[in-house]
Amino acid sequence: MSRKSLTLSAELHEYVVAHSTPLDPLARDLVEETWAALPRQAGMQIAPEQSVFLTILTRLLGVRRAVEVGTFTGLSSLAIARGLPEDGQLICFDISEQYTSVARRYWERAGVAERIELRLGAAAQRLRELPEEPTIDLAFIDADKPGYPAYWAEIVPRVRRGGAILVDNTLRGGRVLDPAGDETDSAIVRFNDLAREDDRVELVVLPLGDGVTLARKR
């Protein structure tokens, strides 16, 4: 087996970001506002290179119907919505009115608010309100980590064959190798094992941002 691997130094990470399509001024404003208004929570936002990855993937797959679990102030939803066609639809799930009020403003500013429906409340319950038919083209999971198995259980049957499921933070800064009693890290370790054993999908863990699992429904 080939054992090629790469550890990104800070400099190499900067190079990766510098040689990827940058955030546009609107998305940069959103990042800056999030750090200014919510400095303790802002690290929850996806990385800039993940934002462009989401938009490209949405376009490559010709996504029309997308679902996001964990919206926060809106960077990932903005990235997905911008990759959708005019009549595409993104349903976002989050529990926080405060965080998502920021997202709503940026969806308006970006001209994509018409494509997005926000559903507030505990996502494990609210996901069950989605039609049971497999109509979702793309799902992005990025909410509370202990909830991942429940979100996965609701989402996988609803994704069409050939559709994609992205799951964020699946490397936890490398701590998946030694979760050492941390409940959130352990939850991700359990989720990664569960996903790998799931025959309904083929998947790869990408070392992008904090680790993104890209799964394709068989």
Ligand X SMILES: C[S@@+](CC[C@H](N)C(=O)[O-])C[C@H]1O[C@@H](n2cnc3c(N)ncnc32)[C@H](O)[C@@H]1O
Residue numbers of the site for ligand X (CB under 6 A)? 44-46, 70-73, 75-76, 93-96, 99, 122-123, 142-144, 147
Between residues 27 and 156, which has the closer beta carbon with respect to ligand X? 27
Output the smallest distance, CB 36 to ligand X, in A: 15
User: CA–CA separation, 33 vs 143, rounded Å?
Assistant: 20
Contacts of 175 (CB under 8 A, 6+ apart): 182, 185
Who contacts 39 (Cβ-Cβ below 8 Å, separation ≥6)? Answer: none
Q: How far is the CB of 46 from ligand X (least distance, A)?
A: 4
Taking the complex as a whole, the smallest distance from the CB of residue 49 to ligand X amounts, in Å, to 12
Whose Cβ is closer to ligand X: residue 146's or residue 179's? Answer: 146
Q: Judged by CB, which is closer to ligand X: 121, or 174? A: 121
> Whole-number minimum distance, CB 94 to ligand X, in Å?
4
Residue number, 73 or 89, with CB nearest to ligand X: 73
- Rounded Cα distance, 198 and 135, in Å: 19
Strands 136-141 vs 65-69: parallel, antiparallel or unpaired: parallel
Dihedral pair phi/psi, residue 157, rounded to 5°: -65, -20
